Amino acid sequence: MQCYAMLCGAMQCDGMLCDAMLCDAMRCYAKRCDAIICYSMLCYSMLCYSMRCYAMRCYAMQCDVMQCYAM
């Protein structure tokens, strides 16, 4: 299960996990996850549990598990 249009800071990872310093261990467990965005350098374990996830965002410096809205 892969994420589509995954953005990690300045890097763009399409269809793959981002394993860089800006975004570490970003995972997609849903079938379709679009526009997963990490604005902070300390965002870990951003998980997507719903079927379709859009605009999953991390605004604070300390980011725990954020669940996206079920569309």
65, part of any domain:
no
pTM given for the model: 0.15
Q: Is residue 50 part of a domain?
A: yes
In a domain, 67, yes or no: no
Structural domains in the chain (count)? 1
Decide if 68 is inside a domain: no
Which pLDDT does position 64 carry in this prediction? 38
* pLDDT tens string 14-63: 434 444 333 433 443 333 334 444 433 333 344 443 333 333 444 333 33
What is the DSSP track for 2-60? --BSEEETTEEESSS---SSSEES----SSEEEEEEE-SSSEE-----SSEEEEEEE-S
Domain presence at residue 54 = yes
Name every residue whose Cβ is closer than 8 Å to that of residue 21 and which is 6 or more positions away in sequence: 41
Confidence of residue 67 (pLDDT cuts 50, 70, 90): very low
Q: Is residue 70 part of a domain?
A: no
Segments forming the whole domain that contains residue 32: 6-58
